[in-house]
Amino acid sequence: MSKKKCIPTATAIIVAAGNSSRMGDGVNKQFLMINNIPVLAHTLMSFDKAQSIENIIIVTKPENIITVNDMVREFGISKIKAIVPGGDTRQASVVCGLKQIENNNIVAVHDGARPFVTPAKIDELVLCAQKYGAAVPGVAPKDTIKTIDENQHVLTTPDRNSLRMIQTPQVFWADELKLAYIRAHESGFEGTDDSSFAENIGIKIYIADGEYTNIKVTTPEDLPIAEAIALYLNK
């Protein structure tokens, strides 16, 4: 009889404090409905089902804390450790979440507006982070990618085999990610994701296979795609 793989435990930080500016008309994308369930609730349910996730910390806008707390109760999310106010930027919001975590923990940072990450993928990434020190999911681009200059002229055509479109959750040892954000604050470094902060202090990042269905709901055009993905995953 084969032994069941031992999965390490992690704390998830769900970042849901953005301004949703690209969604337009003051819409908060975290509360948009996909199959009659809010985007953020889809996200929380995936992490609640993941074997590796022991605690969930939600970082949201101060004025949304009561709404998020009501959502947690409505959808029976059982692993919530804290719901805390975020900052003015994603970087500041992640730091708010990290303050709730002990240094010897594994931490998985995820965008609240990525509702379709699967529990199995979350568990895989936590295992990879334990093995390699840090792990993020990425998918190969399906289109040809060009780099361009300021005049919109092509500079290079990179080999797609060497490129990955990076997703979340991104998983690290908490003490190392905290240090990465401290060093960024000290130097004025600005990154576009958590792994860029880790890379900035020399942490090697393992890229695991991502999921093409793990999209981020950002603009109105994403909503019909999200509805189709929800139907596909539940068929």
For 10-233, CATH number out of 3.40.50.2000, 3.40.50.970, 3.60.15.10, 3.90.550.10 equals 3.90.550.10
What are the residues whose beta carbons fall under 8 Å from the beta carbon of 206, sequence distance 6 or more? 128, 129, 131, 132, 133, 134, 135, 136
pTM exceeds 0.85, yes or no = yes
pLDDT on residue 1: 39
Look up tokens 């029976």; give the residue. Answer: 76
- Residue 221 CA neighbour count, 13 Å, CB half: 1
pLDDT on residue 103: 87
Tokens for 124, please give them: 């895989």
Identity of the amino acid at 202 = G
Tell me the mean pLDDT per 10 residues along the chain, length 235: 68 88 69 95 98 98 96 97 96 97 94 97 98 98 96 96 97 98 97 97 98 95 95 85
Number of other CB atoms surrounding residue 210 within 10 Å: 20
Residue 81, SS3 per DSSP? strand
| Helical H segments across 59-154, by residue range | 65-74, 90-98, 119-132
pLDDT on residue 24: 57
| Domain residue limits, the chain | 10-233
pLDDT on residue 2: 43
